[in-house]
């Protein structure tokens, strides 16, 4: 038998993001926590497009926290666009599969 051997497991989301309403210029966090073995890689998607974080762009105002949550240093919101507003999901992957969180909407509070 396998004594003390831990089975590899596909990812599962143990903490889902929830809808947030943020004032522009304020920080915000979208929670996401995934479990799996090996530890899953977490990516975020907004309105179906992959979210870039400071891993890809050191100047990004979005940081992927070690647990998988997405942290915004400040919510960007201008007359010409609302780059942070939208519907987010977090996806956790390892070689056994992937898990997708519930949708969470990020809204920027009215001017």
Domain that holds residue 28: 9-108
Do the domain assignments include residue 73? yes
Please check whether residue 86 is in contact with residue 47, taking contact to mean a CB–CB distance below 8 angstroms. yes
Do the domain assignments include residue 20? yes
Do the domain assignments include residue 1? no
Q: Number of structural domains, the chain? A: 1
pLDDT at 30 over 70: yes
Single pTM value for the model? 0.89
Do the domain assignments include residue 24? yes
CB contact set of 70 (below 8 Å; sequence gap of 6+): 17, 29, 30, 32, 44, 51, 53, 62, 63, 64, 88, 90
Average pLDDT of the chain, as a whole number: 93
Any idea what the CATH number is for the domain that residue 17 is in?
A: 2.60.40.10
Give the percent of the chain with pLDDT over 70. Answer: 95
Least Cα distance to 18 among 6, 31, 9 occurs for 31
């Amino acid at each position: 038998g396998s004594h003390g051997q831990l089975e590899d497991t596909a990812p599962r989301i143990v903490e889902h993001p929830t809808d947030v309403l943020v004032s522009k210029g304020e920080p915000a966090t979208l929670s996401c926590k995934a479990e799996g073995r090996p530890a899953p890689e977490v990516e975020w998607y907004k309105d179906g497009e992959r979210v870039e974080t400071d891993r890809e762009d050191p100047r990004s105002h979005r940081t992927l926290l070690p647990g998988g949550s997405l942290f915004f240093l400040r919510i960007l919101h201008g007359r010409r666009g609302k780059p942070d507003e939208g519907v987010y999901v977090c996806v956790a992957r390892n070689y056994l599969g992937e898990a997708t969180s519930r949708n969470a909407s990020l809204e920027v509070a009215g001017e």
